[in-house]
Structure 1
Amino acid sequence: MRRSAASKKKSDSVTSATTDLFRSGSSKATSSKEMDRIDHLFNQYANSSSNLIDPEGIEVLCSNLEVSHTDIRILMLAWKMKAEKQGYFTQEEWRRGLKALRADTINKLKKALPELEKEVRRQTNFADFYAYAFRYCLTEEKQKSIDIETICQLLDIVMGSTFRAQVDYFVEYLKIQNDYKVINMDQWMGFYRFCNEISFPEMTEYNPELAWPLVLDSFVEWISEKQA
């Protein structure tokens, strides 16, 4: 006896629902196994007392990744994790970053770093990364500025490969001037804007009457005198 169209439709619907349920269960099982491997990797580097990957653990991680602890990609990895405290990764931060990178082994993480760098260097992401780099280096809760020596190192790591000349000149200026002992976020972001908006070394677009941080006014004046 031929099945009615309604009966066939109901049967197909049940089959489809069963398939979706199977796929959902399979996906959850895969995701669970992936997270188990990510947690296992975390435990290899974490301090068992604090349940944090601390500076010593990060040093071992860098060694296994075959990169220096000053390599910009380690800072990019912290950005991907949304790590809050410099030199430390919590398990939640580690999970967030490695899941996003689909890296549940050290080899997968190593292979993910070049793609992570491409992602960060996209114009839509780099400004956020640049601001994050400053916040990440604030070592105390109420700290709002960073000492000149650290700023010079951070500028070299974060911006050196993209704006070499600007960074070299600004670092030289910061090291010889006596007006500023620290740099705040507004000044830090001002230099990013300077690199992206002002041609260098001509600087014809620079107008001190606009809302530039005073440290950049002094920097431009110093360069002008240096080039005269």
Structure 2
Amino acid sequence: MDAGEMAKITKEEWTKGTSKLQIASISQLAVAASDLDKLLIQNLPPLKTSATASPSKRNLTDEPYDRTAYWNHAADSKAAFKSLYSYCFTLAKSSPASRSIEKDTATAFWTVLLAPQYPTVTDIVEFVNEKPNYKGINKDVWSMILDFCHTVKPDLSGYEADGAWPSMLDEFVQWKKEKSA
């Protein structure tokens, strides 16, 4: 929908988004949301139906909505997820001039966006919530959390102490090692 503000979709944004996807009912919207959730959040394989047909040969009347955007995301779901993740930071800022988002907002987004694919996020959220000195999460930390999840396994294999991680993530690794000892 390309909403400009969290928890708010203007009539213009709604109309433009539903028109682009050819969504005219709540059931169609539910299917579209479910498709994207499965592809981007749950990291499930793309739909099989029509997946092999070229875009020009797909019969849109057989689809519950115009899945053109879905197929574009499915072509590179990793890049689509990264774009969604980055967009969520911008959306979650309290104002366009803000350089960070509130800790509670960040951890809520991480729980929804990252935890289904990356079990380490549950520990990161616990760590951040235990530390009162973390009030907000800046764009660099936000972005590096995703990179950390891609690189470092739940057992911390893949972590290099001399890597270019933000200090928060270095502190997280130390915390997790101490907790596991």
The Cα shift of 1:115 comes to: 2.0
Structure 1, residues 16-48: CA drift from partner, whole Å, max 9, x if none? xxxxxxxxxxxxxxxxxxxxxxxxxxxxxxxxx
Comparing 108-117 with 153-162, which one deviates more in the overlay? Answer: 108-117
Question: Structure 2-normalised TM-score?
Answer: 0.73
| Equivalent-residue separation in structure 2 for 1:89 and 1:174 (angstroms) | 30
CA distance in 1, matches of 2:30, 2:129: 36
2:160 alignment counterpart: 207
Counterpart in 2 of 1:107? 27
In structure 1, the partner of 2:55 is: none
Structure 2 match to 1:195: 149
> Are 2:140 and 1:220 aligned?
no
Distance 2:37 2:132 in 1: 36
Do the aligned residues in 2 keep the contact of 1:208 with 1:217 (CA within 8 Å)?
yes
Structure with bigger gyration radius:
1
Q: TM-score, normalised by structure 1?
A: 0.59
Q: Deviations over 1:70-119 (max 9, x none)?
A: xxxxxxxxxxx111111221233223321332202223222222223245
Structure 1 unaligned runs (5+)?
1-80
- Matched AA of 2:5: K
- Identity %, equivalent residues: 29
- Deviation (angstroms), 1:156: 0.9
Matches within 5 A, 1:87-102: 87-102=7-22
Tell me the C-alpha RMSD between the 2 structures: 1.7
Segment drifting more, 82-91 vs 191-200: 82-91
Tell me, in whole angstroms, the C-alpha distance in 2 between the residues paired with 1:119 and 1:222: 33
User: What is the correspondence of 1:139-150 to structure 2 with a 5 Å cutoff?
Assistant: 139-150=94-105
Q: Secondary structure at the match of 2:164?
A: coil
Q: Does 1:181 align with 2:140?
A: no
Contact 1:98 1:104 in 2 (8 A): yes
Q: Which one scores higher on RCO, CA 8 angstroms, separation ≥ 6?
A: 2
CA distance in 2, matches of 1:92, 1:133: 20
- 3-state SS of paired residue (1:222): helix
- 1:152-167 equivalence runs, <5 A: 152-163=107-118, 165-167=119-121
Determine the structure 2 residue equivalent to 1:84: 4
Asked whether the equivalents of residues 6 and 91 of structure 2 are also in contact (C-alpha less than 8 Å), the reply is yes
Tell me how far apart the structure 2 counterparts of residues 111 and 154 of structure 1 sit (CA, whole Å). 22
How many residues align structurally? 146
Higher helix share: 1
Instruction: Indicate conservation of the 8 Å contact 2:89/2:139, yes or no.
Output: yes
Change (3 A) 1:227 1:119: closer
Structure 1 residues 114 and 144, CA gap change in structure 2 (3 angstroms)? same
Is 1:116 aligned with 2:36?
A: yes
Counterpart position of 1:58: none
Question: Given that residues 94 and 101 in structure 2 are in contact (C-alpha distance below 8 angstroms), is that contact kept between their aligned partners in structure 1?
Answer: no
